[in-house]
A and B are shown apart, each in its own frame.
Chain A
Amino acid sequence: MTTLSPSTVPAIQIDGVSKTYGATKALQDVSVSILPGQVHGLIGRNGAGKSTLLRMITGLEQPDTGSLQFFGEPAPAASDPKAWQHQVACVYQRPSVFANLSVAENLFAGRLPTDGVKVSWRRMQSEAERILAAWNIQLNPRTLLADAPIEERQMLTIAKALEAGSRIVLLDEPTVQLEGAAIRRLFDKVQELQQSGVTFVFVSHFLREVTAICDSATVLRDGKLLWSRTGDDIRSDDLVEALLAGQEQQRHRADTKSISLAGVPALSLKGVGDKAGAFTDISFDVAPGELVAIGGSGGSGKYSVGEVVAGLRKASGGEVLVDGEPLVTGTVKTSQRAGIGFVPADRHRDGYVPQLSVAENMTMGIMDQIAPAGVFSPKRRTAISRELIQDVALVPPNPSLAVSGLSGGNQQKVVLARALARKPRVLVLISPTAGVDIAAKDAIYALMLRALADGVAVLLISDDVEELLVSSRVLIMREGRIAAELSEPIEEDIVRAIEGLE
């Protein structure tokens, strides 16, 4: 045995780890080694075993066989969560913080500084100021966390973990709730920390993010290690192939150039503003069967455009026309009756009622049709939902299952089915594939393409540049206005337009 220099002792060493739940082999003989100061991508479709592996690294789960080492030392005992926290911190999609407490209290939650007996607010304040300054987090320690932007909250979680002594940070899909600019800020920070020797494990659905930030990566498939590589070997094509399980990568591009724009547009905005001021003077048309995408950074007001059309927000000034008929904005029901179907940005918040059944969620927007006099037949509702389940290929195809029991991709299919239930003339989709795996993403795009083929006009609003590329016509919004209209754009065009670079 030669003595190893400190830099070659892996920060995380996973040796032949297996885990079985009942009949499911969640992990089989997985070995991964991650060096200190690396950003290590962890990739796999839903169910590949990513979360199980993450739970093991955070000590929430013990392997059936195999072992874990941190910096050459055996992992702490399962009974010692403090010791685990000292090694590893995890940042989830939704930062685990106390929104009702101040920034300073969040930083010191669980280890409030005291003067012997009572909490020392003064010391907490000054310590918090020091930490925030060191981390370049633009927050006042007295601010309620609820009022802080989500990426600052995530930075705060990371800062807190590192201040508490962890040298390993797990980032579990940290970008899902973030907009483009915030993602870049997060990445800058991660890279800065990486320089100072912090090790990151980065889980993401976005391959571009993985190739952008990771210098090594592991791909899991069906609980097994597919490969674990370092450096340039983690090229994007390779990753995509690894994820697709040998399938051809499907490129979606809705070719709606040839759609006749001569007739009455299915959706038309003429000089529309948002009553709450999120955008002003927006004008564009979407023809039947046409796909128009809107991109833009956070605060560009792009989501609000969709929400005005869907009736969740009120317009001020201008006119929204559906099939040439003026639409009174501000009521979802009115928009629905005019022929608008809507998939909201955050499915957990606005998309579904978790404890209610698939059938009930899918038909929630058409109760006035199923029950014109307010009374309905559950049999009829189930029949309608069975059709919708077939349309969206829901798995499992069970109308009476509670939506909370479905996977993320299938929950999103339920939301999409709800939007399709009324046979809309116009579909407004906001980030419809956020946080779903590639298979579900394909299915959702296929449904969108089918709707287009049926003559439905689609307005696709997204943060994801890859998603915008699905459309051959992309509008870019900046500061509440349409700043550019791109035809057949490539990725670079879109990024430049969003950032306002000419």
Chain B
Amino acid sequence: MTNTTATAPASGKAPRPGAPKNRALGAVVQNVRELSVLPGLAIVIVVGALVSPAFLSAANLTLILRQSAELGIVVIGLTFILLTGKLDISLESTVGLAPMVAAWLVIPAAVGGLGSDIDPLLAILITLVIGAGIGLFNGFMVVKVKLDPFIVTLAMLILLRGITLGISQGKTLAGLPEAFRYIGSARWAGIPAAIWVTAILFVIAGLVLRYTSWGRALYAIGGNADAAKAAGIRVDFVLITAFVAASTLAAFAGLMLAGRLASVTSGMGENMIFSALAAAVIGGVQLTGGQGRIIGALMGVLLLGTLTNVLTLAGVPTFWINAVYGAVILIALLVGRFGAKPGLR
């Protein structure tokens, strides 16, 4: 029982000055589930280095991180929800819809927008509010109306995609204002701002899950919602806020994506939820709730990001990329399933 996830927080934090290395090593060794991603990641990296000398260049590694940033942010939100044992597959449509609405508001009518001439900063705020609103609606439907999360968010996925398509009329909205594009295109200290922001969000999410009562409540609810309720946890509130947080993060990811592409397309975020789910599960987040850590989810994201990059560099024919991608996800899941100690499940 020494490998329970519960032991990790106690030994993982604040190493004693006496034996800092041993403590840190102990904490790493205890994270067996998360570590099970590493062999896969290592293999992909080795293959990448063999396939193309460009793979290990700083520019390419930065590119991998930059291209994984949006997925990473969606995965953070999705992890919150998965930990409670719920699901939100409409996150990817929020990635598309939130920036689309905001862009539509600010872009001149001549290029397909409404040209309402609002402050771009206000448009950014609107993007996030739309995200939060979608999360609130999903959370309400799941928690209060007690509909199945898969079905509700499937319906929302279709609905929101449809709205995005309707607003844009299938066109790409370009000519975004500078402020709108900033976070997705700026560089801080030579590294894309999106990477910084994503890294910071991962750190914050890790701290929230470990050191806040809200974060621990997610685990308690996913482990046994009835017991959580009897213990005085406001289960409904925590669940709804998890949905709100996830959708707000998805809207933010959409904003970053729009900044990177310098435009908003109606298909933005399409199929992203599958990668997000794969990343979270590869990283040890359990769909049944109550188990998993953000570090694992991050590993999952990095594995998928690196894999995509390597497949492209290796010149895998475009039509075959998805098949290879799927096969590697399957292998990663198998490694995670049989590489982890059974007690951790």
Residues of A within 8 A of B (CB): 310-312, 331-333, 335-336, 342, 344, 349-357, 359-361, 364-365, 367-368, 370-371, 374-379, 382, 399-402, 405, 418
A365 contacts B211, CB within 8 Å? no
Q: Could you jot down 24 A-B contacts, CB within 8 Å?
A: A310-B230, A331-B234, A332-B229, A332-B232, A332-B233, A349-B226, A350-B226, A351-B230, A353-B219, A353-B224, A354-B223, A355-B5, A356-B220, A357-B7, A360-B220, A367-B213, A367-B233, A371-B212, A375-B213, A376-B212, A378-B9, A378-B10, A399-B10, A405-B1
Bound: A374/B7 CA distance, A: 21
Residues of B within 8 A of A (CB): 1, 4-7, 9-10, 13-14, 210-214, 216-217, 219-220, 223-224, 226-234, 290-291
Bound: A124/B64 CA distance, A: 60
Taking CB atoms, residues of chain B closer than 8 Å to A379 are: 13-14
A350 contacts B230, CB within 8 Å? yes
Taking CB atoms, residues of chain B closer than 8 Å to A365 are: 231-232
- Which 10 A-B pairs rank lowest in CB-CB distance, beginning with the nearest? A357-B6, A353-B223, A367-B213, A364-B231, A350-B230, A332-B232, A365-B232, A400-B7, A353-B224, A402-B4
Taking CB atoms, residues of chain B closer than 8 Å to A311 are: 232
B4 contacts A378, CB within 8 Å? no
B213 contacts A332, CB within 8 Å? no
**Could you say which of A311, A335, A355, A365 has the most chain B C-beta atoms within 10 Å of its C-beta?**
A355
Please give me the residue from chain A that is nearest to B10 by CB atom. Answer: A400
Please give me the residue from chain A that is nearest to B223 by CB atom. Answer: A353
Taking CB atoms, residues of chain A closer than 8 Å to B220 are: 353, 356, 360, 364
Bound: A336/B232 CA distance, A: 7
Q: How far is the CB of B304 from chain A (nearest CB, A)?
A: 27
Taking CB atoms, residues of chain A closer than 8 Å to B4 are: 355, 357, 400-402, 405
Taking CB atoms, residues of chain B closer than 8 Å to A377 are: 211
Residue in B219, B232, B234 whose CB lies within 8 Å of A356: B219
Bound: A351/B217 CA distance, A: 15
Bound: A365/B220 CA distance, A: 11
Known: A332-B230, A360-B220. 9 other contacts (CB 8 A): A312-B229, A350-B227, A355-B223, A356-B6, A364-B228, A365-B231, A375-B212, A382-B10, A401-B6
Bound: A447/B220 CA distance, A: 26
Taking CB atoms, residues of chain A closer than 8 Å to B291 are: 355
Taking CB atoms, residues of chain A closer than 8 Å to B234 are: 331, 333
Bound: A367/B290 CA distance, A: 18
Taking CB atoms, residues of chain B closer than 8 Å to A356 are: 6, 219-220, 223, 290
Taking CB atoms, residues of chain A closer than 8 Å to B216 are: 360, 364, 367
Bound: A367/B211 CA distance, A: 11
A374 contacts B214, CB within 8 Å? yes
Taking CB atoms, residues of chain B closer than 8 Å to A370 are: 213
Bound: A60/B228 CA distance, A: 35
Q: How far is the CB of B2 from chain A (nearest CB, A)?
A: 9
**Could you say which of B1, B13, B217 has the most chain A C-beta atoms within 10 Å of its C-beta?**
B1
Bound: A350/B217 CA distance, A: 15
Taking CB atoms, residues of chain A closer than 8 Å to B13 are: 378-379
Please give me the residue from chain A that is nearest to B344 by CB atom. Answer: A355
B1 contacts A401, CB within 8 Å? yes
In the complex with contacts A375-B211, A401-B6, A364-B1 CB distance below 8 A = no
Q: How far is the CB of B219 from chain A (nearest CB, A)?
A: 6
Bound: A401/B290 CA distance, A: 16
A376 contacts B213, CB within 8 Å? yes
Taking CB atoms, residues of chain B closer than 8 Å to A375 are: 211-213
In the complex with contacts A375-B211, A376-B212, A353-B1 CB distance below 8 A = no
B290 contacts A349, CB within 8 Å? no
Q: How far is the CB of A367 from chain B (nearest CB, A)?
A: 4
Bound: A356/B223 CA distance, A: 8
Taking CB atoms, residues of chain A closer than 8 Å to B210 are: 378
A349 contacts B227, CB within 8 Å? yes
Please give me the residue from chain A that is nearest to B290 by CB atom. Answer: A355
Bound: A369/B10 CA distance, A: 20
A402 contacts B226, CB within 8 Å? no
Bound: A312/B214 CA distance, A: 20
A418 contacts B1, CB within 8 Å? no
**Could you say which of B7, B13, B216, B227 has the most chain A C-beta atoms within 10 Å of its C-beta?**
B227
Taking CB atoms, residues of chain B closer than 8 Å to A333 are: 232, 234
Please give me the residue from chain A that is nearest to B4 by CB atom. Answer: A402
Residue in B7, B10, B223, B230 whose CB lies within 8 Å of A344: B230
Bound: A399/B6 CA distance, A: 9
Q: How far is the CB of A394 from chain B (nearest CB, A)?
A: 14
Residue in B212, B228, B232 whose CB lies within 8 Å of A353: B228
Q: How far is the CB of B33 from chain A (nearest CB, A)?
A: 12
Taking CB atoms, residues of chain B closer than 8 Å to A368 are: 213
A312 contacts B290, CB within 8 Å? no
Taking CB atoms, residues of chain B closer than 8 Å to A310 are: 230
Please give me the residue from chain B that is nearest to A406 by CB atom. Answer: B1
Taking CB atoms, residues of chain B closer than 8 Å to A336 are: 232
A364 contacts B212, CB within 8 Å? no
In the complex with contacts A352-B224, A355-B291, A400-B230 CB distance below 8 A = no
Taking CB atoms, residues of chain B closer than 8 Å to A353 are: 219-220, 223-224, 227-228, 290
Q: How far is the CB of A385 from chain B (nearest CB, A)?
A: 10
Please give me the residue from chain A that is nearest to B7 by CB atom. Answer: A400
Taking CB atoms, residues of chain B closer than 8 Å to A312 are: 229-230
Taking CB atoms, residues of chain B closer than 8 Å to A357 are: 4, 6-7, 10
Residue in A351, A371, A382, A399 whose CB lies within 8 Å of B227: A351
A374 contacts B213, CB within 8 Å? yes
**Could you say which of A312, A353, A376 has the most chain B C-beta atoms within 10 Å of its C-beta?**
A353
Bound: A333/B229 CA distance, A: 9
Taking CB atoms, residues of chain A closer than 8 Å to B7 are: 357, 400
Please give me the residue from chain B that is nearest to A333 by CB atom. Answer: B232
Bound: A382/B14 CA distance, A: 14
B219 contacts A342, CB within 8 Å? no
Bound: A226/B212 CA distance, A: 52
Bound: A364/B6 CA distance, A: 14
Q: How far is the CB of A380 from chain B (nearest CB, A)?
A: 11
**Could you say which of B212, B224, B226, B228 has the most chain A C-beta atoms within 10 Å of its C-beta?**
B224
Q: How far is the CB of B52 from chain A (nearest CB, A)?
A: 43
Bound: A419/B13 CA distance, A: 28
Taking CB atoms, residues of chain B closer than 8 Å to A405 are: 1, 4
Bound: A342/B230 CA distance, A: 8
**Could you say which of B9, B212, B232, B234 has the most chain A C-beta atoms within 10 Å of its C-beta?**
B232
Bound: A405/B4 CA distance, A: 10
